[in-house]
Structure 1
Amino acid sequence: MINIFGYGVTTKPLVGFLNSLGISVRIYDDKFSGTRGDEFGNLLLDSTLFSNESVDENIALESNALDSLTQESLKTYNLSIISPGIPPTHPLATKAHNLIGEYDFFYRLLRHWRTPPRSVWISGTNGKTTTTQMTTALLESFGAKSGGNIGTPLSDLYTSNTPLWILETSSFSLHYTTYATPDVYALLPVREDHIAWHGSFEAYVSDKLSVLPRMSEDTSAILPFELATHPIAAGFRGRAYFYKDSKDLAMQLGIEYERVHIKEPFLLDGIIALGIAKILYGMCDIATLNAFKIGAHRIEEFVDSHNRLWVDDSKGTNVDATIEAVRRYQERQIWLILGGDDKGADLRPLFEFMQGKSITIFAIGSNAQKIANLSPQYGLECEVCGRLEVAVCSIKKARNAFGNPQPKQNLADVALLSPAAASLDQFSSYKERGDLFKHYALLD
């Protein structure tokens, strides 16, 4: 019997893959109530109903020999495959025998291939999606496809014999991965995030570095300089590039820095993508990188009917991301929408960075009062709006009072949504939050 823990974006395609092999599974999720079946013969169960007591001990012992895991032998195994979103303190994670993450599951199947695909894992606190998309664009001619947190599900990469996997890899996935390894591991800067899930910043950093001890001497890693002395990073056996900033990494990799036209905070993403391509295939296609278009909801600029600049940075879900967004516009008056589910994060570094700048804050979400309490401590004006629609309306009134629009785009001020918090307290996703922000901003 195969158990699936959590029924979300990554595990739904996995269930479909197993069903295509004639394997019905038990799916446990907090959102299910009781027990019911679906049209494919799977059981959908409340998480509280999971128990190891029904497992045949002989099957459980045999399934520990995961090196023998093949597509053909799956029907004989007792495994629990966990969604990366489930924290390690959840009863499903603490009770299950033979717990395995999705990366380990597919990479163990791949080990039996005559020519396994090459793979790149890209992680870090901010910039993973952009770097993954850039790398995939640069290596498209080599058969690269994006996967992991974005793009093509691992099950589809596996069944379509994709020759190069470019995986946006979260700290959650890394936590549940103990076997799989990439050919190149690229780590963007690591800042405080997901502390409640990992338990501490130290544990978060350790999970981000956890793949390094398993990687062989013929692999490569691109890592932040400040982690060079970390015990895990210091023991890496492959070729490591420890970077201080974009220019430093470009110099180490022999990339013509001046020819790259992308601006920060995306410049480092681009240099890392070029570095990955150079490490794997010795190529450096700066022209393709310069033509790359940044995706939606990450410092996405647009103007309203009055030629006023608005910026959708709904993907700015932590302090470091918002600092980078503010840094980009710090010479202007900024009307900043902050707030949401910050998961207990320390917001003081953000306020320290904003102190002394021309910034007015419009607080929304579950931590709005926390933001309002911090603002006067740093000499910042704050209006508690609660809801996004109210914040956008308040910004429009403030901008009208600030000055008349210019004949061309008004560069004196900018309205910026960069919440430094997750969206799920009020929205279904950061995408919904960003889409609504644009909708409200463009209403006359």
Structure 2
Amino acid sequence: MIAGRKHAPQHLGRVLVLGLGKSGRAAVEYLLPLLGGRVDALAVAAGARTEESEAFAEAAAARGALVAFGDDAVAELAARACSADDRGGAARAAGAPAFDLGVPSPGIPPFSPLYVAAAASCGELASEVELAWRESAADSRWVAVTGTNGKTTVVSCAAHLLREAGLRADAVGNIGDPCIAAVAAGATDVYVAEASSYQLASTSAFAPDVAVLLNITPDHLHWHGTFEAYRDAKLKVLANLADAPRGVAVLDASNDVVRAEVRRLRALDAAERGFAYVPMGTADGMDGDMRARCGSDNAAFIADDGSLVAALDGREHALARADELAVKGAHNAGNALAAAAAALALGADEARVANGLRTFRPLEHRIEPCGSVRGAACYNDSKATNVDATLTALAAFPGARPLVLLGGDDKGTDLAPLVEAAHAHARGVVCFGAAGPRFATAFEADAPAAPVDFALECAEHLEDALDAALSLAGEGDVVLLSPACASFDEFGSYEERGRAFKALVADRAARAEA
């Protein structure tokens, strides 16, 4: 191993990078300069052809990489690598895999032909997050955040708190630069990584100093195949925590699935467990103290006066109150609590963490204030691409009954909880896009349970949906885009959808003032 790094072999051998998404391109950029030294051959199974991937592949090939497109790319690259051996490259032992290491992009499902071929052709598969951790400086520290909803907010908030505490911390992974690009840049001492289930599924040695495990609810089943596989991928964030000096897990104990893991950890002897854990909340919610409930050594919770409290190593830290946070909603108070607990676990000063909580601002597309039209406040929550996220947003406005825009690219999930929550918290919904008819049918079927003043409208596109909501809204109302769907029926991403919504709000506001 290379001295001064986490777990970086001096010789990587033949490396296969699978896919040319953001993380795949970053991995290739990191590995290309190692060709002829630590890397004997670099092969890139580029997946489907796009203008962007073809341009990148051409440039990588000019620098010595082997590149192939399509489902048969791995077999083609293995044959080409063997041919390189015949021309004087590093010879392979009989029966040895064609590649020593494979780095799969997170967008490639494990049952896809490309992934299956790579698994059969590589001695080891390691996600870009795993590769980055291994290659990072031995004295660097890592915070890994995973969960179904809230990851990006927690990562951004934790990085903000750590910077406020005077540390060189950056948000990396699914937010910010890919982990391996940040490691290559060498400008970070604390990597706060948003780690998806896709990335964690291909980890083996990854040992963050602090692991934050948020809620786990059904999602991405098309990639993992079963909820159990999805859950287990998330739980891998804890697998090597005992290998980190003074490792700490921050766990959302208000979530049933995560609370089961808390119970498992509590049953272990401290020496057997090998790391500390901080349960956030209890089965009753974030206002529960697990020390009082179950005798836990540590706990994080929201006190009766609204204060965010984290108790670690026998010391209780009372931080900012929930009503002092710029981010809205009880769920964001929980996200802030998770970030604060992670920062404190790394030794951040209590006063600086408290100040950082007060100065942290809402992220784009996450219950983001985006202006008002004739006195109605508009919020962009385009990141709410599943029902659970929208349920959270519906409860974020206790002083108002929002008019909610629902729809987009339908994920086919059960809508009963959404209808019930909308009836409880909203003044009406506008169902739009490809999912609009199914959503409207669900609300129509439960119409007898709706409040007498509950409005149900339908629209074809996002623009029509906003106009329909604004026609119902008056001074002091809230118009909320929280679609509970992906965006691909009308937009290329939830970011594009959110920015389109904000532009429409700005246009309607300008018209109203004209």
Smaller-chain TM-score range? 0.7 to 0.9
Deviation sequence 1:44-91 (CA, Å, 0-9, x none): 533322243626496488987xxxxxxxxxxx9643211112111111
Where does the alignment leave 5 or more consecutive residues of structure 2 unmatched?
A: 1-13, 36-40, 86-90, 290-299, 301-308
CA distance in 2, matches of 1:206, 1:233: 15
CA distance in 1, matches of 2:239, 2:346: 20
Q: Tell me which of 241, 250, 265 is aligned to 1:215.
A: 241
Tell me the residue number matched to 2:414: 346
Contact 2:280 2:338 survives alignment (8 Å): no
**Cα distance 1:386–1:3, how it changes in 2: closer, same or farther (>3 A)?**
farther
CA distance in 1, matches of 2:185, 2:249: 27
What is the one-letter code of the residue matched to 2:25?
Answer: K
Q: Which moved more, 1:91-100 or 1:257-266?
A: 257-266
What is the one-letter code of the residue matched to 2:177?
Answer: T
Contact 2:105 2:128 survives alignment (8 Å): yes
Deviation sequence 1:79-129 (CA, Å, 0-9, x none): 32111121111111112122321122233334xx5x341111011122111
What is the one-letter code of the residue matched to 2:415?
Answer: L
Cα displacement (A) at 1:176? 1.6
What is the one-letter code of the residue matched to 1:271?
Answer: L
Contact 2:16 2:42 survives alignment (8 Å): no
1:272 maps to 2:338: yes
Structure-2-length-normalised TM-score: 0.75
Matched ranges for 1:30-429 at <5 A: 30-32=48-50, 38-41=58-61, 42=65, 44-52=67-75, 54=79, 56=82, 59=92, 78-96=100-118, 97-98=121-122, 99-110=125-136, 115-140=138-163, 141-161=166-186, 162-216=188-242, 218-225=246-253, 226=256, 227-230=258-261, 236-244=273-281, 245-247=285-287, 248=289, 249=300, 250-253=309-312, 254-257=316-319, 259=321, 261-262=324-325, 263=328, 264-284=330-350, 285-329=353-397, 331-379=399-447, 381-399=455-473, 403=474, 410-411=475-476, 413-429=477-493
**Cα distance 1:220–1:420, how it changes in 2: closer, same or farther (>3 A)?**
same
**Cα distance 1:290–1:258, how it changes in 2: closer, same or farther (>3 A)?**
closer
Which SS does the other structure have where 1:193 is aligned? coil
CA distance in 2, matches of 1:60, 1:339: 55
Q: Which structure is higher in RCO with an 8 Å CA cutoff and minimum separation 6?
A: 1
Structure-1-length-normalised TM-score: 0.86
Which SS does the other structure have where 2:443 is aligned? helix
Contact 1:35 1:45 survives alignment (8 Å): no
Contact 2:407 2:435 survives alignment (8 Å): yes
Contact 2:384 2:483 survives alignment (8 Å): yes
CA distance in 1, matches of 2:73, 2:403: 49
CA distance in 2, matches of 1:59, 1:425: 48
CA distance in 1, matches of 2:32, 2:310: 49
Contact 1:35 1:44 survives alignment (8 Å): no
Cα displacement (A) at 1:310? 0.7
**Cα distance 1:35–1:419, how it changes in 2: closer, same or farther (>3 A)?**
closer
CA distance in 2, matches of 1:59, 1:32: 33
Contact 1:59 1:78 survives alignment (8 Å): no
1:8 maps to 2:21: yes
CA distance in 1, matches of 2:93, 2:456: 57
CA distance in 1, matches of 2:101, 2:94: 11
**Cα distance 1:164–1:305, how it changes in 2: closer, same or farther (>3 A)?**
same
Q: Which moved more, 1:317-326 or 1:38-47?
A: 38-47
CA distance in 2, matches of 1:179, 1:232: 21
CA distance in 1, matches of 2:423, 2:462: 24
Deviation sequence 1:279-317 (CA, Å, 0-9, x none): 111522201220111111111123335232111111111
**Cα distance 1:258–1:105, how it changes in 2: closer, same or farther (>3 A)?**
closer
**Cα distance 1:354–1:259, how it changes in 2: closer, same or farther (>3 A)?**
closer
CA distance in 2, matches of 1:104, 1:46: 25
What is the one-letter code of the residue matched to 2:260?
Answer: T
CA distance in 1, matches of 2:111, 2:234: 18
Contact 1:62 1:77 survives alignment (8 Å): no
CA distance in 1, matches of 2:264, 2:227: 15
CA distance in 2, matches of 1:288, 1:393: 37
Which SS does the other structure have where 1:211 is aligned? helix
Deviation sequence 1:352-380 (CA, Å, 0-9, x none): 22234443222223322221221112325
Contact 1:32 1:44 survives alignment (8 Å): no
Which SS does the other structure have where 2:144 is aligned? strand
**Cα distance 1:30–1:329, how it changes in 2: closer, same or farther (>3 A)?**
same
Q: Which moved more, 1:430-439 or 1:53-62?
A: 53-62
Tell me the residue number matched to 1:436: 500
CA distance in 2, matches of 1:179, 1:78: 16
Cα displacement (A) at 1:330? 5.1
Tell me the residue number matched to 2:292: none
What is the aligned length?
420
CA distance in 2, matches of 1:60, 1:152: 37
Cα displacement (A) at 1:265? 2.4
What is the one-letter code of the residue matched to 1:414?
Answer: V
Contact 2:395 2:425 survives alignment (8 Å): no
CA distance in 2, matches of 1:419, 1:164: 34
Q: Which moved more, 1:1-10 or 1:162-171?
A: 1-10
Identity of aligned residues (%): 29
CA distance in 1, matches of 2:503, 2:362: 20
Cα displacement (A) at 1:271? 1.3
CA distance in 2, matches of 1:86, 1:211: 20
Superposition CA RMSD, Å: 2.8
Which SS does the other structure have where 2:239 is aligned? helix
1:29 maps to 2:47: yes
Which SS does the other structure have where 2:402 is aligned? strand
**Cα distance 1:258–1:50, how it changes in 2: closer, same or farther (>3 A)?**
closer
**Cα distance 1:163–1:28, how it changes in 2: closer, same or farther (>3 A)?**
same
Q: Which moved more, 1:193-202 or 1:124-133?
A: 193-202
